[in-house]
Amino acid sequence: MTLFRHLALTIKCCYPYFFLTTVATTKIRYKNLLATCWRKGKAHRKNRCRQLLCNLSLSEKQGTTTRKNKRNTMANHSPTTAPTEKISLKINGAEQQLTVATWTSLLDLLREYLHLTGTKKGCDHGQCGACTILLDGKRVNSCLSLAVMHDGSEITTIEGIANGDQLHPVQQAFVEHDAFQCGYCTPGQICSTIGLINEGKAKTLDDIRDLMSGNICRCGAYSNIVKVVQEALERSQNA
Ligand code: FES
Ligand code: FES
């Protein structure tokens, strides 16, 4: 019998023993912990709870700090860590001169560099449409496009769609028709609807369903979203 077969046989025979021992040890430890806590009285139990809560909030804080650090790292890539390029973009009507790492997607540029977090990251793979923005009036999935490819372009995100305090008619229609639940997909749905109107291809309800199929809504608010798009289309045709 080869060494390998010996090894496999040993693991096969010992595995149930190791498994049972681990379960038994954990159970005993857990029982002892409970018994100790119980024996030491109410004050001890309260203290223990407080300690656990402190640990939880500490780890939450550490999580936030780690996330912040990661974001700062992304926004401050020095030329020594990644190749960068200077680009100029008109974002929501304002000219922006930016130095970005060449691999930065439009979505990361908006969210991590410019803190325009209205555009959502869902799948980051072009599957959900949560990141839809208007690029020179056309709807695109910003997660699939590199920022450096769009030097000199004009970008409109959900933050730039309303006119001051006055909502865009499509935004207003979403509110009136209650076309969202959690709202995570809504910025993408709104940008996509405006892009669809600009394209002028949708004529029927089936066209709307087909041409909006790139925007997924996990809450399933589709029936009201379709009503909104239909109304927005009719309004644009009558205007
Ligand atoms: S995040 Fe871009 S398509 Fe899902
Ligand atoms: S409203 Fe929740 S994902 Fe669309």
Ligand 1: atom nearest CA of 128 is 4
Task: Please give the number of the atom of ligand 1 that sits closest to the Cα of 144.
Answer: 2
Task: Quick: pLDDT tens for 16-69.
Answer: 555 555 555 555 554 554 455 456 666 656 665 455 444 444 444 555 555 566
- Please tell me the pTM assigned to this model: 0.69
Interval between CA 200 and ligand 2 midpoint (Å)? 25
What does residue 85 show for φ and ψ, rounded to 5 degrees?
A: -145, 150
Tens-digit pLDDT profile for residues 154-191: 999 999 999 999 999 999 999 999 999 999 999 999 99
Is 217 close to ligand 1, i.e. is its CB under 6 Å away? Answer: no
